[in-house]
Amino acid sequence: MKLRDIIDSPCGLRYMIETLPVASGYSLRYLMDSTACSAEEEVMESYAALHSFLPAASDGNLVAMLHSELCTLKNISSTLDRLESACTVDDIELFEVKHLIMLGRRVSALLSASGWPALSPDVSFTDSPLSVLDPDGTGIASFYIYDSYSAELAGLRLRLGRETDPDARESLMREEQQEESRIRAGICEDLRPSVPALRKLMESLAVLDITFAKAVQVRTMNLCIPVLTSGKTVYKGMYHPYIKSILEKSDKEFTPIDIDFGDEPVVIIGANMGGKTVVLKMAALCQYLFSFGMGIPAESAEIVLKKRVFFISGDAQDMGAGLSSFAAEMTAIDQVVRASETEGTDIVAMIDEPARSTNPIEGTALVEALLRLMEGRSAAMLLTTHYNISSACCRRLRVAGVENGKMNYRLCPAPDGAVPHEALNVAESLNISPEWIGEAKKLLKHE
């Protein structure tokens, strides 16, 4: 599962990646091409790195300076490949190699000077390739075939400078360029042994950029570092950063949610507009963020690592495939069912109102059957519904609902009892035509 493939998941992952202050375009592409952690050790390692960057990320000065350095980081892997395969590269490419080496050294020096030498990339090998590209030891990032590479080159250039006859200049220029090519081939030869270390340096600078950005995001968005667990996933004070930011713009507050789930399916019921879908979005978002080692939008989080995350929001009508909303949804849920057969405990599925677009009798049967199947296979599942599902095969949670005229979005246990019948009240509060709602009320009374 590459980040690139899931970034447009409707849970709001793109917002989290877009607000990640990564400095270079190469780092961002590197992140997009990275795959989700599938082993617990990877997650631990990833969060250990993030943890070690947190103190440095509070140093605003360092953050700004590092950002301005790292934004010049470029992907020069094609140049490195060519160097490795004994090709001679031109001045422009040699300049980029030199730039990479000097960038690595500057970043390393910057981190050391700010008191974080442990975070620095390994630049111990760079003395030798740098001396090849900076023969005069000027420490300047520019590059050309310097006079000091050969006495012959220096001599040719001297003559070129004095020559006034255009034809003679032309032939001297040719000689000079031949000598340059000879030297360039030698430079490439000398650089070849350092190529693997240079490639590693380039990647470690990208990783540094990404990890630093994650740490800065933890600080600015007030995210938490989760604890890896193997039992139950527990979120305290979970929020959705995108929805929260929108609410805050209009001076409204986001109600943080507490939720936990293990291998037993959890069903969330509650009034319309009670934020059931948002709970699913948050849970899916956190699960994705966790598998990419990012900060979690919650007060605290204990998370079980899952190899596969499914987030199915019901309105997935696929016009391209010619599927109706029901068909598209069923096909998507079918993937979960099939995956649960073999992977069971390795998957987590968040499904928003499954079978909502069919009649309530068959719909209820489909949902209840799905829950029974999942329970048997110990697959983690969060599901929202308006159907009345018995709590025999799942744990039921209910949105507290309208209290004293205000919506309480918190979740509370609802082991039994009917699903709330608040649709008409909610519709009334939306100022929907009273004629219509009144008629509906009359019909209900008749039943």
- Residues contributing to the site for another protein (CB under 8 A): 25, 74, 90-92, 95-96, 99, 141-145, 157, 160-161, 173, 176
Give yes or no for a contact between 423 and 402, defined as CB atoms under 8 angstroms apart. no
The structure tokens listed for 236 are 């305290």
- Do 152 and 180 form a contact (C-beta atoms < 8 A)? no
CA atoms within 13 A on the CB side of 157: 13
Environment class of residue 415 by beta-carbon count within 10 Å: exposed (0-12), middle (13-18) or buried (19+)? exposed
Residue closer to another protein (CB basis): 147 or 375: 147
Instruction: Phi first, then psi: give them for residue 418, nearest 5 degrees.
Output: -75, 165
The one-letter code for the residue type at 385 is T
Count how many Cα atoms sit within 13 Å of the Cα of residue 264 in the half-sphere of its side chain.
8
Nearer to another protein, 166 or 320 (CB): 166
Nearer to another protein among residue 142 and residue 342 (C-beta): 142
E-assigned strand segments in 296-375: 300-304, 308-313, 347-352
In the block, tokens 């519904």 appear at: 385
Interatomic CA distance for residues 69 and 226, integer angstroms: 30
- Backbone φ and ψ of 33, nearest 5°: -90, -5
For another protein, which is the closer residue by CB, 135 or 344? 135
Check: CB of residue 401 under 8 Å from CB of residue 268: no
Alpha carbons 16 and 217: distance in angstroms, whole number? 9
- CB 70 to another protein: min, Å: 14
Query: Please, where are the H alpha helices in 148-240?
Result: 151-162, 166-191, 195-221
Least distance from another protein to the Cβ atom of residue 209, Å? 16
State in angstroms the smallest separation of the CB of 23 from another protein. Answer: 13
Of 74 and 244, nearer to another protein (C-beta) is 74
Strand spans (E) along 15-108: none
- Looking at the Cβ atoms of 96 and 346, the one nearer to another protein is 96
Closest separation in Å from C-beta 25 to another protein: 8
Of 320, 344, 234, 250, nearest to 283 by C-alpha is 234
Q: Which is nearer to another protein, 176 or 352 (CB)?
A: 176
Closest approach, Cβ 161 to another protein, in A, equals 6
CB of 104 to another protein, least distance (A): 17
Nearer to another protein, 68 or 245 (CB): 68
Tokens matching residue 399: 């949105």
Closest contact distance (angstroms) between CB of 177 and another protein is 8
Q: How far is the CB of 205 from another protein (least distance, A)?
A: 16
CB of 158 to another protein, least distance (A): 9
- How many CB atoms are closer than 10 A to CB 391? 14
Please say whether the beta carbons of 185 and 23 come within 8 A.
no
Give me the least distance between CB of 67 and another protein, in Å please.
Answer: 16
Nearer to another protein, 175 or 258 (CB): 175
Between 92 and 321, whose beta carbon lies closer to another protein? Answer: 92
**Residue 325 burial class via C-beta count within 10 angstroms: exposed 0-12, middle 13-18, buried 19 and up:** middle
Calpha distance 168→326 (Å, rounded): 81
